[in-house]
Amino acid sequence: MNKNSTADFKVKYGPWALVAGASEGLGAAFARALADRGLNLLLLARRLNKLEVLAMELKADYPVEVEVLSVDLSDFDVVKKAVTGFKESFGLLVYNAAFAPIGYMENIDEENLGRIVDVNIRTPLLLTKLMSSAMIANRRGGIVLMSSLAGAQGSPKIATYAASKAFNRILAEGIWKELEKHQIDVLASCAGAISTPGFKKASTGSDAPGTLTAREVAEETLNALGKGPTIIPGFTNKLAHFFMNRIFPRKWAISIMNKNTKDLS
């Protein structure tokens, strides 16, 4: 990114950004990409030690302020208290946090099914509502919600997670148009497989075709902000999405996803 576009990004979405689910992997990559663009950061996640290490690294590498808060993102009341109690206002929200227990629904208990809804749907929905109110008053801002290619069709063994990601895409597409008149950009990033610690832990095989690094996904997502309601990072993933959702019958797409997810554990 050149200096002029970096400056424009900071004016449009700064001076502070909130990244939810920032302790490692994609969330940490978003934090680093935003710091590189000159934005100060509030990082939210449960694991305080990882947040503190990341904050120290970012402050050493970039001339930005970084604050961290350990919060349970399944508890919106706690998240709301943390955000409203913060001393600065935000021009950008990146909601990366996700809860994704792997298994067939018959083997996932009610508590974990409820937590999927809380972390992946309720908190991003209500946090978007909360933060967009200030953005509307300021007539500028941006919101990034992480979706997934898994949410483009039924995905066995991660069925509820996939459904929650479908929600985020449809939400982002709707409010993209609603908030356009307030000069607020909204984007759903529909990523495929990402080489993160969580993905490597869950996958027993080699990387799937189209697997990207966290940095690649974060950069491509942020570069797409303001250009439309959705982005699918990576050419291979764009091509796969086209065939899965435009060419193949729906039942074929679900069967292909079943083959891709059956070895997750």
**Domain at 84, CATH number:** 3.40.50.720
pLDDT score at 1:
47
> What tokens does 11 get?
């004016």
* N residues, the chain: 265
Residue pair 187/145 in contact by the 8 Å Cβ criterion: yes
Number of domains in the chain: 1
pLDDT score at 3:
45
Domain that holds residue 231: 3-261
Read out DSSP for 133-186? Answer: HHHHHHT-EEEEEEEEGGGGS--TTSHHHHHHHHHHHHHHHHHHHHHHTTTEEE
Q: 126: which residues sit within 8 A by CB, 6+ positions away?
A: 76, 80
pLDDT digits (tens, 9 = 90+) for 187-216: 999 999 998 766 555 555 566 778 999 999
pLDDT score at 244:
85
Please write down the long-range contacts of 63-67, taking CB distance under 8 Å and 24 or more positions apart: 63/38, 64/35, 64/38, 64/39, 64/40, 65/40, 65/41, 66/31, 66/35, 66/40, 66/41, 67/41, 67/42, 67/43
pLDDT digits (tens, 9 = 90+) for 80-103: 999 999 999 999 999 999 999 999
Q: What is the mean pLDDT of each run of 10 residues along the chain (265 residues)?
A: 70 96 96 98 97 98 97 97 94 97 95 98 98 96 97 94 98 98 98 77 64 96 97 94 89 88 83
